[in-house]
Amino acid sequence: MLMNTNHFSGEEENPFDRAVVMATKASLCIKGFALLVSVLVAVPTRAQSIGVCYGMLGNNLPPPSEVVSLYKSNNIARMRLYDPNQAALQALRNSNIQVLLDVPRSDVQSLASNPSAAGDWIRRNVVAYWPSVSFRYIAVGNELIPGSDLAQYILPAMRNIYNALSSAGLQNQIKVSTAVDTGVLDKSYPPSAGAFSSAAQAYLSPIVQFLASNGAPLLVNVYPYFSYTGNPGQISLPYALFTASGVVVQDGRFSYQNLFDAIVDAVFAALERVGGANVAVVVSESGWPSAGGGAEASTSNARTYNQNLIRHVGGGTPRRPGKEIEAYIFEMFNENQKAGGIEQNFGLFYPNKQPVYQISF
Along the 361 residues of the chain, how does pLDDT read in single tens digits?
A: 333 333 333 333 343 344 433 444 444 444 444 434 343 333 344 456 899 999 999 999 999 999 999 999 999 999 999 999 999 999 999 999 999 999 999 999 999 999 999 999 999 999 999 999 999 999 999 999 999 999 999 999 999 999 999 999 999 999 999 999 999 999 999 999 999 999 999 999 999 999 999 999 999 999 999 999 999 999 999 999 999 999 999 999 999 999 999 999 999 999 999 999 999 999 999 999 999 999 999 999 999 999 999 999 999 999 999 999 999 999 999 999 999 999 999 999 999 999 999 999 9
For residue 161, the model assigns a pLDDT of 98
pLDDT at 47: 53
**Catalytic positions, written as ranges:** 143, 285
**Cβ partners under 8 Å of residue 266, min gap 6:** 182, 185, 187, 188, 189, 191, 193, 194
Contacts 24+ apart (CB under 8 A), 304-310: 304/241, 304/242, 304/243, 305/224, 305/225, 305/240, 305/241, 305/242, 306/348, 306/359, 307/359, 307/360, 308/241, 308/242, 308/243, 308/258, 309/50, 309/242, 309/260, 310/47, 310/50, 310/359, 310/360, 310/361
Say which residues have a Cβ less than 8 Å from residue 152's Cβ, sequence separation at least 6.
203
pLDDT at residue number 39: 37
Q: Running DSSP on this structure, what letter comes out for residue 62?
A: P
According to DSSP, the residues that pair with 100 across neighbouring strands are: 80, 137
Cβ–Cβ under 8 Å, residues 301 and 357: no
Residue 343 per-residue DSSP state: G
Q: Which tens digits make up the pLDDT trace of 245-295?
A: 999 999 999 999 999 999 999 999 999 999 999 999 999 999 999 999 999
Q: What percent of the chain has pLDDT over 90?
A: 86
- Taking alpha carbons only, the member of 180, 138, 330 closest to residue 270 is 180
Give helix 115-122 / helix 154-167 axis angle, nearest 10°.
Answer: 60
